[in-house]
């Protein structure tokens, strides 16, 4: 559909541009990302058997690379549902790190941060819609249920045929035995 061909690149553009920009100059993003990375690493260390790296610049660069790759694939309509999901997962920490409006007292700065926060939540909504978009085709779950029902019906039919053949063979054996 034409709308998808236009919408996907438009939705992917901020991720590709932002990812490339961050890869070129990651140190600009490190201060904002530090509280989020520390929180994630602290939580992960409690739940995982290994220690999570705490190098904030490394996390920022990895996130930027994910955005460039997933954004490019999404724009090119390659694995659109998966890449939309990946981009959805990447925008949440980015939004929490980059647009912490609750920490600003200056009304102008706070307004700008709230605007960007809400813009990112809107993009997240679009990505979530893209992640569940089956392009008019039945979902995998629907196709699996339909296949399971067809397999169950075919199995029942085979069992009925086998039971009829067994009953027929039994009658034939009984006739033969009576003679």
pLDDT tens, residue by residue, 79-135: 999 999 999 999 998 898 888 899 889 999 999 999 999 999 999 999 999 999 888
Do 43 and 93 share a structural domain?
yes
pLDDT digits (tens, 9 = 90+) for 66-94: 999 999 999 999 999 999 999 999 999 88
Q: Report residue 74 as tokens.
A: 């999404």
Spatial separation of the C-alpha atoms in residues 76 and 91, rounded to whole Å: 19
Do 147 and 109 share a structural domain?
no
Which residue segment(s) compose the domain that 158 sits in? 141-179
Do 6 and 80 share a structural domain?
yes
Total domains present in the chain: 2
pLDDT of residue 136: 75
- Residues 6 or more apart from 13 whose CB is under 8 A from it? 71, 75
R_g (Cα) of the chain, nearest Å: 28
Contact of 84 with 21, CB cutoff 8 Å: no
Do 111 and 31 share a structural domain?
yes
pLDDT of residue 13: 97
pLDDT digits (tens, 9 = 90+) for 34-54: 988 888 888 888 898 888 888
């Amino acid at each position: 559909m034409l709308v998808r061909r236009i919408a996907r690149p438009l939705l992917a553009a901020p991720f590709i541009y932002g990812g490339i920009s961050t890869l070129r100059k990651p140190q600009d993003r490190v201060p904002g990302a530090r509280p989020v990375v520390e929180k994630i690493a602290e939580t992960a260390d409690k739940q995982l058997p290994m220690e999570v790296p705490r190098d904030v610049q490394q996390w920022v660069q990895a996130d930027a690379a994910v955005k460039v790759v997933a954004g490019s694939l999404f724009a090119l309509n390659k694995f659109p549902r998966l890449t939309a999901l990946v981009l959805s997962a990447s925008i949440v920490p980015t939004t929490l790190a980059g647009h912490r409006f609750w920490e600003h007292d200056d009304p102008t700065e706070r307004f700008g941060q709230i605007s960007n926060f809400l813009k990112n939540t809107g993009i997240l909504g679009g990505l979530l819609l893209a992640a569940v978009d089956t392009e008019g085709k039945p979902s995998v779950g629907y196709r699996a249920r339909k296949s399971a029902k067809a397999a169950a019906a075919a199995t029942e039919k085979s069992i009925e045929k086998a039971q009829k053949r067994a009953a027929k063979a039994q009658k034939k054996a009984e006739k033969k035995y009576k003679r």
